[in-house]
Chains A and B, each alone.
Chain A
Amino acid sequence: MPISITPLHRVFAGEVSGTDTTRPLLRDAVAAIEAGMDRYAVLVFRDQRLTDEQQLAFSRNFGALEETRGTGISTPGEQRLHPAFADVSNLDKDNKLLERDSRRRLYSLGNMLWHSDSSFKAIPAKYSILSGRIVTSAGGDTQFADMRAAHAALDDATKSEIDDLVCEHSLIHSRAMLGFTDLTPEDRATMRPVRQRLVRRHPATGGKSLYLASHIGAIIGWPVPEALAFIRDLTEHATQRQFVYAHKWRPHDLVMWDNRVTMHRVRRYDNALPRDMRRTTVAGTEMTVAQAGLAAE
């Protein structure tokens, strides 16, 4: 059965049918999904009852996987999942709910802020692939914002103002925004800021997008408060309703997004209910600061 994609939103996001991601894919199917990602930036696959192994195999169709070791807060011996998974659940190693004031839960609340996965790495992520094993029905939506449309909608003066700006991204910053500062010296070393262009170009489509994330703590050459106020304004612009698709999870949804052209966040949900979401991440292949000459159209 050939793959087909139905739009879920006016500017981006599509629902894929005709694909069983639990089974090996032919090269044509992989190419069709990549082409769909280039166009829609977010793809939703329904009813995909994946095992961890199957999710890993599906993800590897699109490139090498990121490992979670060496990012975020160190939680030695507490990992519930294989190191190629980011555990986006509210569960501990024994599949029990995290306590309200547990360090891991408070750290994970940073996901309520708009961000792009691994923008705090020198080579940031390509795709994220999130499998909803146990979902919540009240709250817990994942919202996505289209950073291509957000860039296109800027006025010309702002476009030229930002075209060559470079930002510093760090987990230290996004967590500090929520007052989470409980970091060890090792965490802080791991989370050292990296530089990213504020406007990046997609390697396949050539299109420009805003590269924003709550991890941004500075713009090179700007006073910090002026930089952060400006980044807030840009983020508000970029996350207006017309650029946002809100995904309401059904069990066994698989959602895949291109971090190079989107931001996302999770919405508040009742922490008394289990939410088991497992993410694999396809590594990127280049630094954004290596994209020179973006100003020349």
Chain B
Amino acid sequence: MTISIRPIQSRFAGEVSGIDVTRPLDAADVAAIEAGTDRYAVLVFHDQPLSDDQQRAFTRNFGTLEQAPGGHVAKPHERRLPPDMQDASNLDKEQRVFARDDRRRMFNLGNRLWHSDSSFRAVPAKYSLLSGRIVVDKGGHTEFADMRGAYDALDDATKAEVEDLVCEHSLLFSRGLLGFDVADDERAMFRPVRQRLVRTHPATGEKSLFLSAHAGSIVGWPVPEARGFLRDLTEHATQPGFVYSHKWRQYDLVIWDNRQTMHRVTRFNENLVRDMRRTTVAGDAMTVAQAA
């Protein structure tokens, strides 16, 4: 059976069939998935009951696994998953649901804000792969926004204005928006990095808006003006016409290209277990030189 992709929206998000990603893939399959991701930015694979090792193996087809420290306030000994998997669940190491006021849960609530994974790293992520091991059936959707469509729909004056702007991204900013208190020893880990506001996709050459809740300033702008403008751009970029909302089924695997999308999770009842495991393909280039 050969791989095929059914578009969910005209050129954004596709549903893949004809492939079992729990098994080794041949080069043609990998190329077809890469081409599909270039085109649709988000790919959905149903009925993929992956083990952690199978998820890692599948992910490595597309590059190196991101496992840099610094993305979370959970201490290494508190982690439920090894460092090459990001834990997007609401569970502690003993598989218990976090208490309502658990600090790790408070931190994870930042995922309710539109963001692009690892935009707070000098070299931001390429793909994220999220496996729904235990899903909730009310809420807990993952919503994706097409940053190419959002860029294309800007008027010419705004395109010209944003073309060469550079933003600073940090977890400090996104967590600050939710009033999360960052400890002093975490502050150094969250040092802002620079990213272009308009980036060009390395494979397709298409431009997209590189927005994220982590973006907290624009180099050379007064901060409140920058934040007001970034909010406006984010609102523009996440209009219903640019958004695909993924309602999870158990064992769905969703791949997205962080270089041309933002995403967020919607609210759900956190008394219920939601076990989502993410692997991340590291990017290979900075979008702009970092400040000295």
Q: Which residues of A contact B (CB under 8 A)?
A: 100-101, 106-107, 109-110, 112-113, 175-180, 217-218, 223-230, 232-233, 267-268
Contact = CB atoms under 8 A, between A and B. Distances in A.
Contacts of B242: none
A228 B178 contact: yes
Given A223-B106, A225-B180, A232 B224 contact: no
Contacts of A223: 100-101, 106
A226 B222 contact: no
Contacts of B109: 225-226, 229
Minimum-distance CB pairs A-B, first 7: A179-B223, A225-B178, A178-B224, A224-B179, A106-B224, A178-B227, A112-B228
B246 interface: no
Nearest to B225: A109
B72 interface: no
Given A179-B216, A180-B224, A228 B232 contact: no
B223 A177 contact: no
Contacts of B178: 224-225, 228-229
Given A112-B231, A113-B228, A179-B226, 9 more contacts: A100-B225, A113-B231, A176-B176, A180-B224, A224-B179, A225-B109, A227-B179, A233-B112, A268-B228
Interface of B is mostly: helix
A180 B100 contact: no
Contacts of A180: 223-224
Given A106-B222, A179-B216, A179-B217, A230 B267 contact: yes
Interface of B: 100-101, 106-107, 109-110, 112-113, 175-180, 216-217, 222-229, 231-232, 266-267
A184 B43 CA distance: 51
A268 B112 contact: no
A107 B232 CA distance: 17
A232 B112 contact: yes
A268 B229 contact: yes
A233 B238 CA distance: 13
Nearest to A175: B224
Nearest to B158: A268
A100 B231 contact: no
Contacts of B180: 224-225
Nearest to A225: B178
Nearest to B99: A223
15 contacts: A100-B225, A106-B225, A112-B231, A113-B228, A175-B224, A177-B227, A178-B223, A178-B228, A179-B217, A179-B224, A224-B179, A225-B175, A226-B100, A229-B113, A268-B229
Nearest to A112: B228
Contacts of A107: 224
Contact of A268 (B106, B113, B216, B232): B232
Contacts of B107: 225
Nearest to B181: A224
Contacts of B101: 223
A284 B8 CA distance: 50
B90 to A, nearest CB: 12
B222 A100 contact: yes
A113 B228 CA distance: 8
A240 B261 CA distance: 22
B223 A112 contact: no
Nearest to A231: B178
A197 to B, nearest CB: 21
Nearest to A229: B112
A294 B266 CA distance: 28
B106 A226 contact: yes
Contacts of B216: 179
A225 B179 contact: yes
Contacts of B224: 106-107, 109-110, 175, 178-180
A109 B230 CA distance: 13
Contacts of B222: 100-101, 106
A110 to B, nearest CB: 8
Given A100-B222, A106-B222, A223-B100, A228 B228 contact: no
Interface-centre pick from A175, A177, A225 (highest chain B CB count, 10 A): A225
A112 B232 contact: yes
Contacts of A101: 222
B177 A228 contact: yes
A227 B178 CA distance: 8
Nearest to A179: B223
A228 B178 CA distance: 5
B267 A109 contact: no
A228 B223 CA distance: 21
B99 to A, nearest CB: 10
Nearest to B227: A178
